[in-house]
Amino acid sequence: MTEPRDTAVAPETPVPVVDDNGHLIVNIGPSHPSTHGVCRVLVELDGEIVVKAEPIIGHLHRGIEKMAENRTYLQVVPLTDRLDYVGSMYANWAYCRAVERLAGIRVPERAEYIRVIVCELQRIASHMMAIGPAGADTGATSAFMYTFWQREMVVDLFEALCGARLTYNYVRPGGVASDLPDGWIERCRAFIAQHPAAMLEIDRFLFGNVIFRARTKGIGVLDAADAVAWGATGPVARGSGMSWDLRRDDPYSVYPRFDFDVPVGSRGDAYDRARVRVYEAVESCRIIGQALDGLAEFKPGDIMAEAMPRLLAPPPGDAYDHIESARGSLGVYLVSDGSVRPYRMKVRSPAFCNLALLPLLAEGHTLSDLVVILGSLDPVFGEVDR
């Protein structure tokens, strides 16, 4: 005879929640493929139309800012890898720039060139992770395979460079962890030689696809004034025609030496936000090519600042520095009390600011468009929740 089933653990039949206006309340996520991570979106639906969409975040909150207060400056670098795990190099670099500013460290030029190269490669890898799923959100799964093939090549380059495929821990305070291995420059040149053609192909078969256009054009329109007021940065702001790129408008590192364009959209819809990323990836190839040419001028092995102490203890004070990551302005604010640990670290995460736009953009669209809009903001929840 079988035991009677314990009703306390039996799965309950979900009861639809309907509010006073007759609107259906739906929870999407936190573990749902269309949320691109662990985001819960509390949606109020009138039929199929979104009346209100509220992102509920924090499911991936690990307290990295608090953990940093209990680690030395060098030990924080691996923590920054775990912020934006699709673009770890950026968080490494932004953090290292803040530390260097705080401690007054001068980075050798060869290391700056290598940083630019790896971060532009990272931008390509990260944008592939945005464009492919943008297609997948609308049912065009083949684009995913093509962009991931490109991303795979970048990740292979990173693996050859530092042994890791996702969390690199490569950019360190004072320079980078290691010089480029033998044959890496040639492999990198081979990658950037074929990448623009691959992007052109994506542009034709995904952005020219009639279904993709119908699903993304005019969806989630963000006008430039709202982009400014809500602090949107990166491709989300540039898709709305706000021409703002820290590499050009607040130049850092060796970017002023390179010739590149900042692509902007005009309509501010999901289509423009995704397409801006395609052209940014092509511009990144231009920057990488120029940086690889410039690298020859510097002595190999000169990749770390001189007289770097083993235990960094910057003088008391604070520093803020920011870079243009694949998602926008990524800033790190550090406060030192003179000890070997940061007194306070704050990460100004672009994905966090961009995600705040979701309620504004999703209102009035259908539930299936909500998925497209969320994907077009390209949030990475490691960085949103920190």
Smallest separation (angstroms) from another protein to the CB of 319: 6
Scan residues 213-232 and list those touching another protein (CB under 8 A).
228-231
User: How many residues can be counted in the chain?
Assistant: 386
Element (H, E) at 24: strand 24-28
In SS3 terms, 280-349 reads as HHHHHHHHHHHHHHHHCCCCCCCCECCCCCCCCCCCCEEEEEEEEECCEEEEEEEEECCCCCEEEEEEEC
Q: Which is nearer to another protein, 92 or 354 (CB)?
A: 354
C-beta of 36 vs 97, nearer to another protein = 97
> Taking contact as CB under 8 A, which single stretch among the options 43-51, 155-163, 178-186, 331-339 is the one that binds another protein?
331-339
Which of 241, 346, 366, 368 lies at the binding interface for another protein (CB under 8 A)? 346
Q: b vs e for 160-177, b when ≥16 Cβ sit within 10 Å of the residue's Cβ? A: ebbeeeebbbbbbbbbbb
Q: Do 206 and 131 meet the contact criterion of CB atoms below 8 Å apart?
A: yes
Looking at 179, 308, 333, 366, which residue binds another protein (CB under 8 A)?
Answer: 333
Residue with smaller CB distance to another protein, 85 or 298: 85
Q: Which member of 178, 335, 363, 366 binds another protein (CB under 8 A)?
A: 335
Which residue carries 């020859």 as its tokens? 296
Cβ distance to another protein smaller for residue 138 or 240: 240
Q: Using alpha carbons only, what angle is made at residue 332 by residues 327 and 333, rounded to the nearest 5 degrees?
A: 145
The Cα 45–Cα 48 span in angstroms is 6
Residue 65 as a binder of another protein (CB under 8 A): the answer is yes
* Window 286 to 325, contacts with another protein (CB under 8 A): 318-322
Residue from 25, 49, 52, 72 binding another protein (CB under 8 A): 72
Minimum CB distance to another protein smaller for 97 or for 215: 97
**Interface segment toward another protein; rule CB under 8 A; list 38-46, 81-89, 242-250, 255-263:** 242-250
Measuring CA to CA, which residue among 72, 360, 75, 333 is closest to residue 222?
A: 360
Which residue in this structure is represented by tokens 């961009």?
354
**Binding of residue 338 to another protein (CB under 8 A):** no
Positions in the binding site for another protein (CB under 8 A):
57-58, 61, 63, 65-66, 70-72, 75, 101, 228-231, 244, 249-250, 318-322, 329, 331, 333, 335, 340, 343-344, 346, 348, 352-353, 356, 385-386
